[in-house]
Amino acid sequence: SRYDTIAGMHNAAAFPFAHQGPNFLGWHRLYVNMFEEALQEIRSDVVLCYWDSTLDFLMPGSSQRFTVAFSADLFGNGRGNVINGAFANWQLPGGGTLRRDIAGNRFPNPPPSLTRPGIVDLIATDPSITSHTQIVRGGTGFTDPDTGRVHTWEEEHDNTHVWVGEIMQDVVTAPGDPVFFFHHTFIDYVWELFRQKINPNGDIDLREDYPNVEGPHAPDAPIGGFPGISNREAYSDEYSRMYAPHPTCSNNCGGSTQFLYCPDGGTMANPNRRCISREINSDLVPAAAVAPAAAMQAMAFGPEATMARFGPAATMGMFGPAAARAGFSPATTMGMFGPAATRAGFSPAATMGMFGLAASRALFGPAAMSRDVPAVGSARVSVEATDTVAVRSALSEPPPPVSGIQFQSSFSDSRI
């Protein structure tokens, strides 16, 4: 399928170009853009959304194991085979179905961690971090406030791959889990915040800030997999996209209070404080929410009427509609973020929130119907109706083989 073809670009041959150097940022920006443009060939009003995993990191204690992000409402269950949610029974390019092990035991390795808010804030706002060489591998890096070690944005990105586990932990198979693209859209969002910080007036050519390194990440080396483009060129504003701000108390959690809440008394307590993901036990899967395998088994993007692997065109949600962009931020005020579509986080104001479209949670759909879709799905039933047989069956399937190239966690979250 076309999805599998795009996922397959993130392979072992691409690893030296796409990882462990300053081209990590540019390569993955082009990759995410390619995926979004492929979706837009099917529906021109689709834009990607980002998964801000700092909101899950902030959940108290070990409760992030039960984040609503990995529930039937959003990404689907987080442990074992994914048997509910938008990606239920999702077929992998190499065969088998999608599996996850969020916040799982990585013995003998330490517990994994999600993206830390403090690291995001350092990159996005710290006035002492003013060049790309300070945030990428191959450069000077910055000091991790939690460990005291030299750290980079790429290393922080690795943590979430390890936290999701299974398919996402393996470099080659990671794009087989659609969560990959939501995670990498967030990585790109934070990079865009950094770019705006060091170039607030838009009068600096950030291609000239590409670190002076050698090898496949050298400034003028060709960017692997994207003919005719150099590594340096991928730092151009041409490939930037606009983003809605992440959920905070001041924007009412982006209108997504079904999935997020503001801690410590709401907006008057600390208006710039991040919202936090709500808790749900996604291991208890209502039988009514377990989608039939056929719903996600189409093997191409397919005709416009069906959207193939992404479900019927009559639904929407995880990818916000172009018609809602004005509600995120008008181009006249967000122009600094570059020319194309505004990408929603888990939250543009006045929309349903975590996946971008007013009162809708499904994968795709027309903007015209978005405000008429109820925010609460009828599939959620009482725990007494849980199909425990289906849950046990899903958890019993053996994991797929790995490629040998694994993401490594750089920070251990002792709460897990």
| CA 283 – CA 104 distance, rounded (Å) | 13
Between CA 352 and CA 364, with CA 358 as vertex, the angle to 5 degrees is 105
Helix, coil or strand: residue 46 = strand
1, pLDDT greater than 50: yes
Residue ranges per domain, the chain?
A: 2-396
Q: Which residues pair with 142 in a beta bridge?
A: 151
pLDDT tops 80 at residue 327: no
For residue 361, the model assigns a pLDDT of: 25
Mean of pLDDT values over 64-68: 92
Check whether 146 has a pLDDT greater than 70.
Answer: yes
Q: What's the confidence (pLDDT) of residue 313? A: 28
Least Cα distance to 319 among 38, 124, 28 occurs for 38
| Owner of token pair 């410590």 | 264
Q: pTM of the predicted model, to two decimals?
A: 0.73
Instruction: Find the mean pLDDT for residues 37-52.
Output: 89
Burial readout 339-374 (b: 16 or more C-beta within 10 A, e: otherwise): ebbbbbbbbbbebbbbbbbbbbbbbbbebebbeebe
What residues are paired with 276 via a beta bridge?
A: 261
State residue 104's pLDDT score.
84
What is the distance between the alpha carbons of residues 85 and 73, in angstroms, rounded to a whole number?
Answer: 6
**Average pLDDT of the residues of the chain:** 73
Task: Please list the helix, strand and coil fractions of the chain in percent, rounded to the nearest 5, in that order.
Answer: 40, 10, 55
pLDDT digits (tens, 9 = 90+) for 122-137: 999 999 999 999 999 8
Structure tokens at 371: 């405000």
Residue 246 near residue 347, CB atoms below 8 Å = yes
Cα separations in angstroms, 265 against 269, 272, 416: 6, 13, 26
- Which pLDDT value is given to residue 99? 95
Q: In this model, does residue 411 exceed pLDDT 80?
A: no
Residue 412 clears pLDDT 80, i.e. is over it = no
- Say how many CA atoms lie within 13 Å of 348 toward its Cβ: 31
How does residue 54 score in pLDDT terms, banded at 50, 70 and 90? very high
* Other CB atoms within 10 A of residue 37 CB: 11
Mean pLDDT of 171-183: 94
Give residue 10's pLDDT: 94
> CA 282, 288, 292: angle at the middle one, nearest 5?
95
CA distance 34 to 26: 12
What does the pLDDT read at residue 315? 28
Cα separation, 277 vs 257, whole angstroms: 9
pLDDT at residue number 309: 34
pLDDT at 311: 32
Q: What is the pLDDT of residue 111?
A: 75
**Taking every pair of C-alpha atoms in the chain, what is the biggest distance, in angstroms?**
61
Q: What percent of the chain has pLDDT over 90?
A: 50
CA atoms within 13 A on the CB side of 392: 4
Contact 225, 9 (CB under 8 A): yes
Smallest CA-to-CA distance from 216 within 230, 199, 236, 198 is with: 230
Give the closest residue to 339 by CA, choosing from 272, 240, 265. 240
From CA 339, how far away is CA 236, in angstroms rounded? 12
pLDDT tier at 13 (50, 70, 90 boundaries)?
Answer: very high
Cα 186 to Cα 120, 179, 189: the distances in Å are: 10, 11, 5
